[in-house]
Chain A
Amino acid sequence: MTSRKYLVAASALALSAVVAGPVVADEWPERPVTMVIGFAPGGSTDIQGRVLANVMEDYLGQPVNVVNEPGAGSAVAFTNLANAEPDGYRFLFGGTTALTFTPIITDVEYEIDDFEYLAALALGQNALVTSAEQPFETFDEIIEYGRENPMTYAQQTALDQAIIERVAEAEGLDLAIVPTGGGGGMAPLVLGQEVDFAYSGGTHAQYTPTGEMVIAAFLSAERSPFYPDVPTLMELGYDYSIEDWRAIIVPQGVPEDVKDRLMEAAEFASQDERFIETTEGNTFFPVVYYDQEQMEDNVRRVRAATEEVMAD
Chain B
Amino acid sequence: MARQSFWSGLVVMVFAALCLTWIIPNYAGVNPLAQMPPDLVPNIASWIMLLSAGVVVIKSIMEMVEKRESPVNLEIDWRAFGWAAWPFVYIAAAIFVLSHVKLTYAGAPIIALMLILLGERRWYILLGCSVVPVVLLYVLSVYMMRVGVV
Residues of A whose CB lies within 8 Å of any CB of B are: 2-3, 5-7, 10, 13, 32, 34, 63, 65-68
Contacts and interface: CB of A to CB of B under 8 A. Distances in A.
Interface stretch (B4-12, B41-49, B77-85, B127-135): B127-135
Contact of B127 (A2, A34, A65): A2
Nearest to B101: A3
B105 A65 contact: no
Given A5-B131, A6-B105, A6-B134, 12 more contacts: A2-B109, A2-B112, A2-B130, A3-B105, A3-B106, A10-B105, A10-B138, A32-B148, A65-B146, A65-B148, A67-B148, A68-B147
B146 A3 contact: no
A13 B127 CA distance: 20
Interface in B114-150: 126-127, 130-131, 134-135, 138, 146-149
A3 B148 contact: no
26 contacts: A2-B108, A2-B130, A2-B131, A3-B105, A3-B106, A3-B108, A3-B109, A6-B108, A6-B131, A6-B134, A6-B135, A7-B105, A10-B104, A10-B105, A10-B138, A10-B149, A13-B138, A32-B148, A34-B148, A63-B146, A65-B146, A65-B147, A65-B148, A66-B146, A66-B147, A67-B147
Contacts of B130: 2
Contacts of A13: 138
Contacts of B134: 6
A55 to B, nearest CB: 15
A10 B135 CA distance: 9
Interface of B: 104-106, 108-109, 112, 126-127, 130-131, 134-135, 138, 146-149
A32 B148 CA distance: 8
Contacts of B138: 10, 13
Contacts of B112: 2
Contacts of B127: 2
A34 B102 CA distance: 15
A65 B127 CA distance: 30
What 7 pairs across the A-B complex have the smallest Cβ distances? A65-B148, A67-B147, A3-B108, A2-B108, A65-B146, A3-B109, A2-B131
A105 B143 CA distance: 40
Nearest to A7: B105
Nearest to A65: B148
Nearest to A10: B138
B109 to A, nearest CB: 5
B97 to A, nearest CB: 12
A68 B146 CA distance: 11
A3 B131 CA distance: 8
Nearest to A63: B146
Nearest to B134: A6
Contacts of A65: 146-148
Nearest to B128: A2
A13 B126 CA distance: 23
